Structures are given as C-alpha cells and as structure tokens.
Amino acid sequence: MTGWQLVPGGIGKILTQTNDQVAAVGTTIQQLADNSVEPLQNAAGFDGVVVKAFAGFLEEQSGRLTGIMNGYAAALEATAAATNAYIAGDEQAAAAMVAETRHAAQTGDMTRFQAGG
C-alpha cells in the first residue's frame, strides 16, 4: 500500500461523527417542513397565499435538498467502502470506491458501496 496513508480508526470516528451531523441536518429540514405551516398561518393572519408560497418553495427545493443529502451519503459511503478495501489490502478497489462517489451522489444509488460493491 504505497499510495495511501490512512488511519482506519480515525476515519471510522470521523465518519460516525459526520453521519450524526448529516442526520441532524436531515431531521432539521424535515422539522422545518412539518412544523412551519401553523406558525406561518398565524403570522400571516391565516392567509393561505403565504402558506401556499412556502409549500411551493419547499416543493421547488426538494430536488436540490435531495441532491445535497445524496452527496453527503455518497461521500460517507464511499469513504467507508474505500477504507474497508484499504484495510483488506486492495488499493485498486479503494480507488474504485472513491471514483463511484459522483455517480452515487447524482443518482442516490449507494449499492456499489455495500458489501464491497
């Protein structure tokens, strides 16, 4: 393993911490969508236009938010899979996992990273 210099235990710790933070972002986004209607109605004097506009905004941005969350997931999954391949002594498979990150982020398909791809 001449091309890689990894500390798998450190990577595992960072992946766990980052995964927790990404999950918190996802939860916050969902809570925003779930818990915003009533306060908006109250603040706007029950004006349906404001609520519809906000719902439209969330719908319009859902693809972008999904893409962001897919990017996080792909980065985490690819890093874990590449680290596992590195530990197994397969630098070529580790590099292949990293190369798959963009495709996984764009499609949301993380199956390549599961069970060694």
> What one-letter code names the amino acid at 24?
A
The answer as to whether 24 is a domain residue is yes
The answer as to whether 117 is a domain residue is no
Which residues span the domain enclosing 29? 10-111
- Residues 42-58: tens digit of each pLDDT: 887 767 788 888 888 88
The answer as to whether 4 is a domain residue is no
The answer as to whether 62 is a domain residue is yes
* Tokens matching residue 38: 């009533």
CA–CA gap between residue 79 and residue 90 (Å, rounded): 14
The answer as to whether 2 is a domain residue is no
The answer as to whether 71 is a domain residue is yes
Question: Closest Cα partner for 7 from 25, 76, 15?
Answer: 15
The answer as to whether 32 is a domain residue is yes
- Residues 42-100: tens digit of each pLDDT: 887 767 788 888 888 888 988 899 999 999 999 999 999 999 999 999 989 999 999 99
Asked if 98 and 84 count as a contact pair (C-beta separation under 8 A), the reply is no
The answer as to whether 116 is a domain residue is no
How many domains does one find in the chain?
1
- Residues 8-54: tens digit of each pLDDT: 889 999 999 999 999 999 999 888 888 887 888 788 776 778 888 88
Model confidence at 1, pLDDT cuts 50, 70, 90, reads very low
